[in-house]
């Protein structure tokens, strides 16, 4: 169980015996706006030496770029990279599994290819590479000539007959039509070779597809919650089922509310506790801390936290609206904003 691990690493520095995991969109920021109480909330925890991590279902940039950007938006507060994870961070673990071509989906330009390379993927291919060679694969694609020149890698030969090993959806696609068509082509191909079609159907696609988040909705600065990667997944699922005349697509899904993502976040918190231990006295207090997840989305943040044995605080600054059906994702408490959530966790 998790508790003994924490017990070993708990230090006197955290005499409040509590730790926090924060969602980002709808809790710390909202599109181009920053939640006014966010900086003070994190500062308060730093002052109290309480461990915290950020766990977002967002993504699309490297972890380093993302923490730098966030730090700037939060008044310069330090956000160490090892206190941050995004939806696709656990994809690092797939590097040894998929050594051949991998279709990288989503994000701006070729940003997610850069992330994939940083993680160690050897042959990441993006939509622009395929459109460059075969513009008619999706005749309505949205790529301009200069974008193809900028983002596509001409050294990639998509017609070499080598199969794709897998499809990894890093982030919400920017040209959904292109991505939908190419993904379905590969799922229904002969062993992952682009431009082929397999003869028979089953629920298992020709190559695996991994989604990094299944949020139907997320919260930006538009007044109503927006469709997220989960809406894209629903589209792929529906088209697969329709095309195969009834087979439901098998896929791998991570991100909140799934355990794999909470395990990853848990390990980051354990590491933080370890660090504190090095700077603390030997007379460490021995008890497992309570972890509070602060989130705005009942279906991901709250459901996942409850299932993982954490406490959960649902805030009113994002997806959740008062009176909405919580559909089995009942938080420990509902509060106005992230600062109230931190104060609540510290006091309880």
Query: What residues line the site for ligand G3P (CB under 6 A)?
Result: 23-26, 56-58, 172, 213, 215, 218, 228, 297
Residues 6+ apart with CB under 8 A from 209: 166, 167, 168, 169, 183, 187, 236, 249, 251, 252
Selected from 10, 11, 23, 131, the binder of Mg ion by CB under 5 A is: 23
| CA dist., res. 124 & res. 100, Å (int) | 8
Is residue 110 close enough to count as binding Mg ion by CB under 5 A? no
Q: Which is nearer to ligand G3P, 24 or 182 (CB)?
A: 24
345 binds, among ligand G3P, Mg ion, none (CB under 5 to 8 A by kind): none
Q: Which is nearer to ligand G3P, 104 or 207 (CB)?
A: 104
In DSSP notation, 70-112 reads HHHHTTT----GGGEE-TTGGGGGGTTT--SEEEEE-SSTTHH
| CA dist., res. 16 & res. 215, Å (int) | 33
Q: Which is nearer to ligand G3P, 179 or 215 (CB)?
A: 215
58 binds, among ligand G3P, Mg ion, none (CB under 5 to 8 A by kind): ligand G3P
In DSSP notation, 295-338 reads ES-IIIIIHHHHHHT-EEEEETTSS--TT---TT---SEEESSH
Is residue 26 close enough to count as binding Mg ion by CB under 5 A? yes
| CA dist., res. 317 & res. 304, Å (int) | 19
Q: Which is nearer to ligand G3P, 227 or 344 (CB)?
A: 227
56 binds, among Mg ion, ligand G3P, none (CB under 5 to 8 A by kind): ligand G3P
Selected from 296, 304, 315, 335, the binder of Mg ion by CB under 5 A is: 296
Site string for Mg ion, 255-294 (x = CB under 5 A): ----------------------------------------
Is residue 172 close enough to count as binding Mg ion by CB under 5 A? no
Of 302, 223, 173, nearest to 33 by C-alpha is: 223
Phi, psi of 21, deg, nearest 5: -125, 130
Provide the binding-site residues for Mg ion, judged by CB under 5 A.
23, 25-26, 296-297
């Amino acid at each position: 169980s998790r508790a003994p691990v924490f017990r070993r690493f708990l230090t006197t520095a955290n005499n409040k015996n509590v730790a926090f995991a924060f969602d980002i969109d709808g809790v710390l920021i909202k599109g181009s706006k920053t939640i006014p109480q966010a900086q003070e909330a994190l500062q308060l925890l730093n002052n109290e030496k309480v461990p915290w991590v950020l766990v977002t279902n967002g993504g699309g940039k490297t972890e380093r770029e993302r923490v730098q950007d966030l730090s700037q938006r939060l008044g310069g507060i330090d956000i160490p990279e090892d206190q941050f994870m995004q939806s696709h961070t656990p994809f690092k673990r797939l590097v040894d599994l998929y050594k051949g071509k991998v279709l990288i989906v989503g994000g701006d330009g070729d940003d997610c290819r850069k992330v994939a390379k940083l993680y160690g993927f050897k042959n990441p291919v993006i939509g622009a590479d395929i459109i460059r060679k075969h513009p008619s694969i999706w005749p309505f694609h949205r790529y301009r000539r200069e974008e193809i020149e900028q983002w596509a890698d001409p050294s990639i030969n998509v017609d070499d007959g080598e199969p794709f090993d897998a499809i990894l959806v890093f982030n919400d696609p920017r040209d959904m039509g292109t991505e939908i068509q190419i993904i379905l082509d590969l799922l229904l191909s002969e062993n992952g070779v682009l431009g082929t079609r397999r003869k028979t159907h089953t629920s298992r696609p020709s190559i695996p597809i991994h989604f990094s988040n299944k949020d139907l909705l997320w919260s930006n600065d538009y007044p109503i919650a927006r469709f997220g990667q989960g809406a894209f997944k629903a589209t792929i699922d529906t088209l697969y089922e329709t095309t195969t005349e009834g087979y439901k697509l098998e896929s791998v899904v991570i991100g909140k509310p799934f355990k794999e993502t909470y395990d990853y976040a848990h390990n980051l918190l354990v590491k933080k506790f370890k660090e504190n231990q090095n700077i603390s006295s030997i007379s460490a207090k021995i008890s497992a801390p309570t972890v509070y997840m602060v989130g705005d989305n009942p279906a991901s943040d709250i459901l996942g936290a409850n299932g993982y044995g954490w406490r959960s605080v649902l805030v009113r600054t994002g997806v959740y609206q008062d009176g909405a059906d919580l559909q089995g994702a009942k938080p420990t408490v509902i509060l106005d904003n992230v600062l109230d959530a931190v104060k609540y966790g510290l006091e309880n």
